[in-house]
Chain A
Amino acid sequence: MLRFFLRRAMESLITIIVIVSVVFLVLNLSGDPIRMMASPTASAEEVAELRAAFGFDKPLVLRYGDFLAQISRLRFGDSISTRQPALRMVLQRLPATLLLAFTALAIATILGIPLGMLAAVRRGKAADTAAVLVSMMGQAMPVFWIALLLIFVFGVMIPILPPSGYGTFAHLVLPSISIAIFLLAGIVRVTRASMLEVLQQPFVTVVRSKGLEERIVLFKHALRNASIPVLTQLTLQMRFVIGGSVVVESVFGWPGVGQLLAQAAYGRDYPVVIAATFFIALFILAFSMMLDLAYGLVDPRVRIWH
């Protein structure tokens, strides 16, 4: 178990180094960041001063070394727009994003798995067709459009929920449902496919023929065997959750990392962009590592620890 953890931690570390390196390279190769940072009226001296202040007067290789050394000590520098440490800005906003992400994932899982099972059990019937259609629609609707429609219906037409903001439970409802609708599509599809496969296996016929209640056959025997692809899907989904949260946070004025990232990109605030990307990657890698451990809980055959 320890070895598994160490190996995964090493892999994650390399992944993060690659990601920040790519962002660093793109930032540095795509022109002069200082020229964009400085106001158009700045004098040559002011530009040079700024260049030295951010270390841009050194050659690229040296800067890259400095950059990695700084990042490894979690020093991301100060935000260009607010002059606050980028690290603190990101960390302050992390809880809001985590709250939104896990609520959305929970809603999608709690609704998606039973719906997918229902579709599989009623294969070819109306419920199945409906589930397939809904999941196809869900994957074709951009998340921000879902969010706008939800605001329109529940914030404007029937004003029962706040259309934007943060703080109370009511504020959480619309943003998390927006992301969940998109996730639901993928979870329903994978659960359905995985269940269909499991339900054809002989052991299901065996437990059925020994007279077990259909409910127990489905939930205890079939679901457990069908859950590995669903868990894999959840790891993939976490990427969509975070990707969706960037947009949804911007629509609902939700003070999370995603909104911060979008604003920072808009204002070319590189330290914040790098810090936000770093923590998003870190979170996704940690989450997928935890799900790898969860595989073992549902299926002892793939248990990685002993």
Chain B
Amino acid sequence: MALIDTKPTAAPKRRRYFATLLRHPLALAAHAVLALAVATAVLASVYPADPLKQNLMSSLMPPSLKVDSLPGSQAALPAFMGTDALGRDLMARILLAIRISLAVSSLAVFIATAVGVFLGLVAGYVGGVLDSVIMRIVDALLSLPFVVLAIAVVAAIGPGLVNVALVLGLTGWVTFAKLVRGEVLRIKQYSFIEAAHATGCSGKRILFRHILPQTVGIILVNATLTMGQMIISEATLSFLGLGVPPPTPSLGGILSDAQQTFFAAWWIVVFPGLVLMAIILAINIAGDFLRDYFDPAEEGAL
């Protein structure tokens, strides 16, 4: 039996996460909502109603539980959330929109994390002029509202499914760069980095094998909170007609269409917004939980 357990295995760590989660009902609920959202996104196309099929006979039908309330549908299915102005089943559209929203936002977060973490590592480790230049850009971009920056970039590369993810990713990296740079500056001073130098590790190895793993917690927390921001931003861009182009359903796009039929159809305004709010609320709560989990010293919302 080893006296000092230097390599704790992954399993107890994971068990500790779930054990902590069980003690925080709010965070547990948030995780459940997120699991549901991901399951919905994956299974969206299983839902029998067609999200794109127009049917003017069933235009603007209110939500109903009656089985034949969605005329013209192959499946005998009630229009749980009603239909939109073109007679499309709102439930089917929202389910697909959740998939689109999560896919675009995940890709955006991935790009933002990759770019931001890399630039943050380099800026913090190399220092000097490179650091000053990167941080100047970071501070400048941080002084603008995220939406304004994203809109300016959309003006350049145009709307579209992949473009939205690109725009959001390429404008969202700044917080990662700032956070990671700060962490690198802190970690750089520890003696184990000096030891790594002394044993002849290359700068690249120190940066990616010794410093990067130390920043995983803070990156994960920021990625979670950024995910919420990306979902809001994607919805905002789509709402303004600068995001996911129709007829592909997006939560922002559905809400934008809802403006035309405001006076007749409350359900098109209420349901997509509720879905957005539930997902973002869950992400924010889960993010706060993660932060407390990785940094118990800091007293948070939990």
Interface residue A54 (Cβ < 8 Å from any Cβ of B): no
Question: Residue B281 contacts which of A137, A149, A240, A266 (CB distance < 8 angstroms)?
Answer: A137
Given contacts A132-B301, A142-B232, contact A27 B155 (CB under 8 A): yes
Contact A266 B242 (CB under 8 A): yes
Interface residue A34 (Cβ < 8 Å from any Cβ of B): no
Interface residue A281 (Cβ < 8 Å from any Cβ of B): yes
Contact A156 B144 (CB under 8 A): no
Segment from A39-47, A86-94, A204-212, A242-250 that makes contact with B: A242-250
In the bound complex, residues from chain A placing their C-beta under 8 Å from that of B269 are: 145, 148-149, 152
* Chain A positions 104-134 with a Cβ under 8 Å from a chain B Cβ: 132
Chain A's closest residue to B281 (CB) is A140
Question: Residue A239 contacts which of B145, B158, B255, B277 (CB distance < 8 angstroms)?
Answer: B145
Inter-chain CA distance A266–B242, complex, in Å, is 6
Inter-chain CA distance A173–B60, complex, in Å, is 30
Interface residue B66 (Cβ < 8 Å from any Cβ of A): no
Tell me the smallest distance from the CB of B101 to a CB of chain A, in Å.
Answer: 11
Inter-chain CA distance A23–B158, complex, in Å, is 14
Chain A's closest residue to B283 (CB) is A140
In the bound complex, residues from chain A placing their C-beta under 8 Å from that of B236 are: 142-144, 247
Main secondary structure of the interface of A (DSSP, over half): helix
Interface residue A136 (Cβ < 8 Å from any Cβ of B): yes
Contact B277 A137 (CB under 8 A): yes
Contact A19 B151 (CB under 8 A): no
In the bound complex, residues from chain B placing their C-beta under 8 Å from that of A71 are: none
* Chain A positions 230-282 with a Cβ under 8 Å from a chain B Cβ: 239-240, 242-243, 246-247, 250-251, 261-262, 264-266, 268-270, 273-274, 277, 280-281
Given contacts A14-B140, A137-B277, A261-B151, contact A142 B235 (CB under 8 A): yes
Tell me the smallest distance from the CB of A50 to a CB of chain B, in Å.
Answer: 17
Inter-chain CA distance A269–B242, complex, in Å, is 13
In the bound complex, residues from chain A placing their C-beta under 8 Å from that of B242 are: 262, 265-266
Interface residue A158 (Cβ < 8 Å from any Cβ of B): no
Query: Contact residue range for chain B?
Result: 35 or more
Contact A23 B258 (CB under 8 A): no
Interface residue A62 (Cβ < 8 Å from any Cβ of B): no
Inter-chain CA distance A284–B148, complex, in Å, is 12
Contact A281 B143 (CB under 8 A): yes
Tell me the smallest distance from the CB of B300 to a CB of chain A, in Å.
Answer: 10
Interface residue A30 (Cβ < 8 Å from any Cβ of B): yes
Tell me the smallest distance from the CB of B288 to a CB of chain A, in Å.
Answer: 9
Contact A156 B263 (CB under 8 A): yes
* Chain B positions 215-245 with a Cβ under 8 Å from a chain A Cβ: 228, 232, 235-236, 239-242
Inter-chain CA distance A36–B159, complex, in Å, is 13
Interface residue A300 (Cβ < 8 Å from any Cβ of B): no
Interface residue A285 (Cβ < 8 Å from any Cβ of B): yes
Question: Residue A18 contacts which of B140, B148, B153, B154 (CB distance < 8 angstroms)?
Answer: B140
A-B complex: 7 closest residue pairs judged by Cβ atoms: A243-B145, A18-B140, A265-B155, A140-B281, A145-B273, A140-B280, A243-B147
